Structure 1
Amino acid sequence: MYVDIARIRLLVSELERRTQNPDTVAKTLERSGLSLQDIQPPAKLYSARTEAQFIRNACDVLDDRTFGAKAGLEFRSTSSLTAYISKYSRDLKQVLENTVRFHRLIDPAIAFGIRVSGNSASVEANWKDPSYSRFHRRTEFLMFGAISRLRVLTGVQINPIEMRFQHRVGKRENSYAKIAGFPVLFGAEKLEILLPLSALDIPVPSYDPSLREHLLEYGERLLADSERPKQSLRAQVEGLITRSLPGAVIRAEDAAKDLGMSARTFARRLHDEGTCFREIVDDLRCDLAQTFLKNEMGLAEISYSLGYADQAAFSTAFKRWTGQAPSAYRNRVEYAVNV
């Protein structure tokens, strides 16, 4: 799954600005499977998972979990078709309608919807590929980047009533609201941006109905010609596991049933992909556990979030995965950043 190269260029630029060290930037790219040459013109696309890994690594280098959110607020321009359609739209309502319709052309892993109720409008994000929901820092980058783009398009300092994330960030929660300038909620039921209803009427200064109509026709042709990306069975299983959290992990037989398979067929197809249900559960838990520890969440909260009966069971599992206790891992991460 691939996304606009403009995003990684922004992220690299922000990391370079923060570190003032080209070698650090190059090493962070290398750890993420990239080089500076890979993101130079004429490159137009790159892997969404690479993007997620780069944001994680940049957060570690800076010892700043909010790097993705801060970089998102600096997102100004993109050359995507959706961006051009939005640029020539009448108002913010049309911009959001364009996003709902065409966003899968630029990021097939996530889709948006608009829900109006009372005095507010909710821009809801839904994972088409739920395996990407594990990348919390990338999710923050995308959501804060959406606000930045709305501000650039309208020329208005739009402030949401609230931005809501489904994941948790422990002690870091207040820092997000501080950098955003508006309320940010974690551990919410939905991933969404809540806007005042009046914001939908904010005009776009560059509105051009004829250009918009032409681009809409082109966009519809691209949608008609494009194939929806096929998810691997592993990605589908990761999505089911993620949805079952916090507090429980879906059982293999229930996952098979949800996917319309017998338990035997389910196990065979996973084997054909070189994995098994238990391995996927362990990999996802390990990945999320490391993210939660970096967020400074308490061990009891992490244990519950990952579906363990108690803290001791989680600590035993974490040591099996990484060879060290959760507290030792957290100390090592903090030391590595500070030396």
Structure 2
Amino acid sequence: MFQNPVLSNALNASGNLGVLSAAASGLDGFISSHGGDVDRIFGVSGINPELMCHPTLSLGLGSYCKVLEEAAAQSGCDNFGLYYGQQFKPQALGLLGYIGLCSTTLEEALKNFSAAFPYHQHDTLIRLVDCGECYRFDYRVEHAAIIGKRQDAELTMGMLLNLVRHRLGSTWAPRTVHFEHPRPEHWKDHLRLFDAPVLFNQPCNSMLIPKRDLNGQAMADADPMLLMVMQDALQRLGAHGRQNRDVVEEARGLVRGALLQGEPNLEQIAAGLDLSGAGLQRRLRDQGLSFSALVDGVRRELALHYMRQNLSITDLAPLLGYSETSAFSRAFRRWFDTSPRQWRNRQV
């Protein structure tokens, strides 16, 4: 039976508000090994390093996705999530990983893993679809405030790959792998890692797993009793976390959508949260924020994302709710102490 390092914390944790910190196991060391500045990357992303020591504590999903994107950008490793997922063993994933490992068969492991994932990570589409000869594992972050999701998607597919390879060996390959994001520059590394066709610009992040590969494959460390304990502990964390809304993150998502119509309005955003304007302001003050600072932060994050996507500078103003390009340029200089064009030239 497993000597489980995560159960001791599970019963005392306050609930999962985003994603359990086991999903960032070893992240600080991996960032350092790729030349990144851990303190700077964690600071920009709003990650408390102390949480990384407790696999059943919760990270904000937006901060988690952002830290992966920042690590890729600041380390210069464009395939950061792909490589991080390549070395991510199921045991490192905490409760969710052990749910797969404690299952009776590999087929059950996939089903149990998929069923438990929503408790491990909120605001995410997870499904295991029976497609006849194959199972299709679908994954997509659906949090409205999260824009940079590529590194997380590649990491998650790597985690799933390693769960299957834990039983079938390092040479096992899926039939196909799909990603939502555009094909990256070093896309051949994806082909090498998955040893399968990899398609980009797809409707969902997916992996197609032939059923014949799963037939009769018993898990070496199956433990039905421990499996039930793990499932119960994870469900308790996930259910308790859903009772504690992260109003600030929800507001960020609504602001992001409202920017396409111009300047976001406090009362409209508050109404979308079933709050009064004064009620939303109180919730923001509790987090040390004002509504204008919230909007400014969303714009700053979106601007950086769109600039990295090489969108035309003249096209960025309306995407950020500005009526004129000059207003966007002034805001960009205030955020980054440089003009958009100068910033982009430095990235070449």
Q: CA deviation at 1:68?
A: 2.1
Match in the other structure for 2:254: 240
Gaps of 5+ in 1: 335-339
User: What is the match of residue 164 of structure 1?
Assistant: 179
Distance 2:312 2:28 in 1: 31
Judged with a 3 Å threshold, the aligned counterparts in structure 2 of structure 1 residues 107 and 65 are, in CA distance, closer, same or farther, namely same
User: What's 1:113 paired with?
Assistant: 127
Which segment is superposed worse, 246-255 or 225-234? Answer: 246-255
Displacement of 1:86: 0.7
Residues 116 and 197 of structure 1 are in contact (CA less than 8 Å); yes or no, is this contact kept in structure 2?
A: no
Q: Does 1:18 align with 2:28?
A: no
Change (3 A) 1:31 1:268: closer
Is the aligned partner of 1:227 residue 2:246?
no
Q: Distance in 2 between matches of 1:321 and 1:199?
A: 54
8 A contact 1:92–1:200 mirrored in 2: no
Q: Please state how far the C-alpha of 1:221 moved relative to its aligned partner.
A: 5.6
CA distance in structure 1 between the partners assigned to 2:56 and 2:113 by the alignment: 20
Q: Does 1:216 align with 2:228?
A: yes
Shift of 1:279: 4.1
- Which amino acid in 1 is paired with 2:228? L
Q: Quickly say closer, same or farther: Cα 1:318–1:146, change in 2 above 3 A.
A: farther
TM-superposed CA distance for 1:332, in Å, is 4.3
After TM superposition, give the deviation of residue 123 of structure 1 in Å: 2.7
3-state SS in 2 of match to 1:206: coil
What is the match of residue 177 of structure 1?
Answer: 187
Contact 1:177 1:184 in 2 (8 A): no
Equivalence for 1:337: none
| Secondary structure of 2:184 counterpart | helix
CA RMSD, aligned part only? 4.2
- What is the aligned residue count? 317
Match for residue 214 of structure 2 among 201, 225, 231 = 201
Q: Percent identity at matched positions?
A: 17
Could you list the runs of 5+ residues in structure 2 that have no partner in the other structure? Answer: 1-16, 192-196
1:175 alignment partner, SS class:
coil
Q: For residue 193 of structure 1, report the CA deviation from its aligned partner.
A: 0.9
Change in CA separation of 1:161 and 1:27 when aligned onto 2, cut-off 3 Å = same
Secondary structure of the structure 2 residue equivalent to 1:239: helix
**What displacement does 1:71 show?**
1.3
Structure 2 equivalent of residue 78 of structure 1: 92
- How far does the alpha carbon of each residue in 1:196-250 deviate from its partner, in whole angstroms, 9 at most, with x for none? 55378366552566x13541255236525751342232211223345x4996679
Q: Which secondary structure state, in structure 1, belongs to the residue aligned with residue 26 of structure 2?
A: helix
Cα distance per residue 1:269-316 (max 9 Å; x no partner) = 221123555543332221022133234444356556556667566445
TM-score between both structures, scaled by the size of structure 1 = 0.71
Distance of 1:33 and 1:276 partners within structure 2: 17
1:111 and 1:195 map into 2 onto residues whose CA distance is 16
Q: What is the rounded CA distance, in whole Å, between the counterparts of 2:67 and 2:346 in structure 1?
A: 20
Q: Compute the TM-score of the two structures, normalised by the length of structure 2.
A: 0.69
